[in-house]
Chains A and B, each alone.
Chain A
Amino acid sequence: MSTALKIKEEEEEDLAEELAEYEKVANHVKITQRDLEQDGFSNNPFFHGIIAEVPEQHRTKEGYTKIGYALYFYTYSSWTGRAIYMQDLYVMPEFRGKGVGKALMSKVAQLALAAGCHQLNFTVVDWNKPSMDFYLSQGCFDVTATMGYHCMRCEGEALEHLAQP
Chain B
Amino acid sequence: MTSGGHCWTTNDIIPLLFQELAKYEEMEHQVTLTEKELLEDGFGDTPFYHCIITEIQGQNSSEDPKVVGFAMYYFTYDPWVGKQLYLEEFYVMDEYRGLGIGSGILRHLSNLAMKTRCTGMMFVVAENNEPSVQFYKRRGAEDLSQEEGWRLFRFDKDSLVKMAAPSEE
Contact = CB atoms under 8 A, between A and B. Distances in A.
A109 B155 CA distance: 9
A125 B149 contact: yes
Nearest to A144: B151
Contacts of A80: 30-33
B167 A148 contact: no
Given A79-B31, A119-B160, A42 B152 contact: no
B76 A85 contact: yes
A22 interface: no
Contact of A106 (B32, B49, B125, B164): B164
Contacts of A109: 155, 160-161, 163-164
Interface in A84-136: 85, 87-88, 99, 102-103, 105-106, 109-110, 112-113, 117-127, 132, 135
B88 interface: yes
B75 to A, nearest CB: 5
A35 interface: no
Q: Summarize B's interface: helix, strand, loop or mixed.
A: mixed
B37 interface: yes
A155 interface: yes
A60 B113 CA distance: 41
B47 interface: yes
B127 A150 contact: yes
Interface in B93-145: 106-107, 110-111, 113-114, 116, 119-128, 133, 136, 139-145
Contacts of A141: 153-154, 156
Interface stretch (A13-21, A25-33, A43-51): A43-51
A61 interface: no
Interface in B14-47: 18, 21-22, 27, 30-33, 37-38, 41, 45-47
A122 B14 CA distance: 27
Interface stretch (B52-60, B61-69, B77-85): B77-85
26 contacts: A41-B47, A42-B49, A71-B79, A76-B72, A78-B18, A78-B22, A79-B22, A87-B77, A109-B155, A112-B160, A118-B156, A122-B153, A123-B153, A126-B150, A140-B154, A143-B154, A144-B151, A150-B144, A152-B136, A152-B145, A154-B136, A155-B81, A158-B142, A160-B114, A161-B140, A162-B121
Q: Which 8 A-B pairs have the closest CB atoms?
A: A158-B140, A155-B120, A139-B159, A163-B110, A126-B149, A162-B110, A109-B164, A150-B145
